[in-house]
Structure 1
């Protein structure tokens, strides 16, 4: 069993910062919808509209904020954005109309998107290149552990069902980002990247990296699959009990917490990253096929199929995470990590925004055919990522190009 803690130093400090705010986020995720409806008094449709607009804004602003992290120094930028996120969450405590809610939601999404990019730039500057994928695995494990703890706290608030309980959850989330900023201040000050600061955003003209980001977005449809697609499928198309939705979420979170670091050890270059992504796509085909056969009238058979599919799903998720992390860093030019990570991170926003609509139409509307189509599309994207990565590597001015020859000869799944 790998050490659950990263080495002492910057890696462990980054993990502590991740833990500090992921606990608050876990509580926020499970209570926010009911809070905005019951405490703020907004109609669910307006909440959905506001959050969609906010994340769309956040995805657009994430790239220039990442560039600012490159130019002004990632530590200071990350600290400011953590504080801004805390302010946004705290403002939810007092907003009581749609206009203010939308403004606070846009600030929250913008600060979160920028903070993610700035953290990646911090990691790139403080962690040796060969250790980055492992460090990201530790961060992902910590994220899942924190979310699980936060979700449990949020569940207590939901059980209480009082305004005070909801307000306490949001206050804890706001405080968690303040704590995150304080932890980030323990990291060493990093100088701004030298160079021409008037240069326009390079990533917007980097076609290979854009293709890589687009293909990765297709694989990211696994995110709303767990939170939206499966719950709808279980309740609408299977005889499985509704409580299984929560059980499968716990299974996924626990597995990532325990096994993500070990899985990431197999990825140490462009060839192994491409291979991990192909294996992820193949596992997603199995996932979709097993979920498709869960539409039976026998509860025990449905539960068995759904648990089996969830095991395949979490294995695919961990391989995808490890492979995509490596490619996103390896193919980003030195000095523009924040900018490029901000762009790569837009895939998460797009998947979370459009994914629920696509998955609802495919899975609930088309049934078994929808599952098979989803698996085929993800498999195609996973296999296309290898050639896209080699194309991108050939256009890099430095290190990444070294892996092209080896990547071309990597055996299949």
Structure 2
């Protein structure tokens, strides 16, 4: 049976999308190059201690939280392409400023510019991807978000591996080389977006009073979607945060195993997301796919807690299965949530809505470290109990939201194929 044009991966449409995929890849490479450095770079180039650096970076990052509010309006007025490029350029400039960091003031300036660039990029790139998908067909969003997610994992993982290999060289100049490499990657990505990514149709903002933040604040189903996705984003951020500490301190397991387990997660996300997304999309609506992801995260938490009952010789293969369960949840949730958030946004207000949707991830990034630290310090199983219950709650909330969000999906037909369900907003 021939594939429908909505697959969005054939002929001229695919070629027109390649520059955007290339820009995402180069951007991810820049992030990956810096990832192993993180706070280590500031310890190397300043006399500040780790606690002071951590506070300065955290406070400066929190200051940038209002940025998406402004970015969403810019995207709706100007279109997302130039805004995405601006965010990448700001990140490139910020990393160039890293090379001049010598104390607290210069550190704050460099982190502030970089963090603003990060907020601008993530508050606009999903609108650019959604607009690109719209140009290829009504059902192309899931595929596009899956593909870009895989590219981000590949680019970020490749950059981190390269940085790790270079850091093995005992030279202070390696830090400057990696920072400069990150800066150039972001600047090149910005040039690719400006010069090579084609413009796509972008609906103009509706009349005043029917768009923007006022309309968003009246859209209770969408606000509920953001809140529910904040729960899922917390689940999504918990693996890298909790696994190293839990394995070594909670399970007395080998400290070498966390690296391969996290690498396994990255490998699965980088290679299997698109195939799993196609499989799920043929069988479930996006809402139900997200609810299934919540159920899988609940299972992941229960299985992680049950690891305390295992003998030491069974621990490593068991943890491999646990990480696979987490990865399937992540691959199921990511493309479906981004596609649903894009389709649930009114025409002409997608920039504001998707920028606001990014607060689900921002809130999770702020809450997750403190939540894990507080819970784990009381009992090694408490984080899994709390996050598992939250994941189950998220699944229930998604099912309750189903009638209030756009009705869409792919429903099996009597021939064993699939048919599209026309989107419709429920009253």
Change (3 A) 1:392 1:55: farther
Change (3 A) 1:209 1:218: same
- 2:17 is matched with which residue? 11
1:70-81 matches, cutoff 5 A: 70-81=76-87
Deviation of 1:11 (Å): 2.6
Deviation of 1:161 (Å): 4.6
Q: Does 1:44 align with 2:50?
A: yes
Alpha-carbon distance in 1 for matches of 2:283, 2:208: 31
- 2:175 is matched with which residue? 166
Alpha-carbon distance in 1 for matches of 2:19, 2:401: 34
In structure 2, the residue corresponding to 1:59 is in which secondary structure?
A: coil
Alpha-carbon distance in 2 for matches of 1:116, 1:345: 7
TM-score, normalisation: structure 2: 0.86
Q: Does 1:142 align with 2:142?
A: no
Q: 1:187 aligns with which of 194, 197, 212?
A: 197
1:123-134 matches, cutoff 5 A: 123-128=129-134, 129-134=138-143
- 2:67 is matched with which residue? 61
Please list every run of 5 or more consecutive structure 1 residues that lacks an aligned counterpart in the other structure. Answer: 406-413
The answer to whether the 8 A contact 1:277-1:320 is kept is yes
The answer to whether the 8 A contact 2:91-2:118 is kept is yes
Alpha-carbon distance in 1 for matches of 2:205, 2:297: 43
Q: How many residues align?
A: 398
Alpha-carbon distance in 2 for matches of 1:275, 1:368: 29
The answer to whether the 8 A contact 2:294-2:391 is kept is yes
Deviation of 1:239 (Å): 2.4
- Tell which deviates more after alignment, 175-184 or 369-378: 369-378
- 1:341 is matched with which residue? 354
Deviation of 1:404 (Å): 4.4
Change (3 A) 1:40 1:22: farther
Q: Does 1:332 align with 2:345?
A: yes
- 2:318 is matched with which residue? 305
- 1:408 is matched with which residue? none
Alpha-carbon distance in 2 for matches of 1:147, 1:248: 16
TM-score, normalisation: structure 1: 0.89
- 2:160 is matched with which residue? 151
C-alpha offsets along residues 175-231 of structure 1, whole Å, 9 cap, x if unaligned? 111111121121223577534686652324433212211111111113331221111
Q: Does 1:225 align with 2:231?
A: no
CA RMSD of aligned residues (A): 2.6
The answer to whether the 8 A contact 1:138-1:261 is kept is yes
- 1:284 is matched with which residue? 297
